[in-house]
Amino acid sequence: MVSVFSGGDIARQMPQESKKFKAIDKRWMKIMENANESRNVVSCCTNDILKSSLGDLQDGLEHCSKHLENYLESKKRVFPRFYFVSNTDLLKILSVGSEPSAVQEDFEKLFDAISRVTFAEDDRRLITHISEIIGGGDVETIELVDGVQCEG
């Protein structure tokens, strides 16, 4: 989840949640550093500061998670094909959305009869061919006359 809130479209559209998550992550890392230094499970877990902060951290994570789910739902309403992928896959797609070739493995989840696409060498956003793996491992490739620009 760290990478989800650290950059890209999600961090820009959810700045408050991103900031909150970074603060929670920082506190969690500090707790883990203290646990590593302590090397004693009982003394680490009976620490009053730890006991009091875990509930707050959990509440903060639930807040961030709820807002993230609302964000994903809004993306699904804009592009209904996103309903066909898991939230984990959708987060990956949205986090690398500025690089269309990075979502090659997800085309099959979004569209029927599309396993891979080929991008133009001179324009990495222009799809020139669509390929589908059919029975027996054969590949059927269709050349697009004008190509399709990956945008939005």
Residue 21 pLDDT = 92
Residue 124 pLDDT = 85
Low-confidence ranges of the chain (pLDDT < 70): 1-3, 7-8, 97, 152
User: Is 119 within 8 Å of 125 (Cβ atoms)?
Assistant: yes
Kindly state whether residues 60 and 112 are assigned to the same domain: no
What percent of the chain shows pLDDT beyond 90?
A: 39
Residue 71 pLDDT = 93
Kindly state whether residues 119 and 75 are assigned to the same domain: no
Kindly state whether residues 111 and 63 are assigned to the same domain: no
Kindly state whether residues 62 and 105 are assigned to the same domain: no
pLDDT in tens, 79-120: 999 999 999 999 888 877 677 778 888 888 888 888 889 999
pTM of the model: 0.75
Residue 2 pLDDT = 52
The token duo for 136 is 């027996």
Domain with 125, as residue range(s), is 100-149
Residues 102-132 as b/e (b if ≥16 CB within 10 A, e otherwise) read ebeebbebbeeeebebbbeeeeeebbbebbb
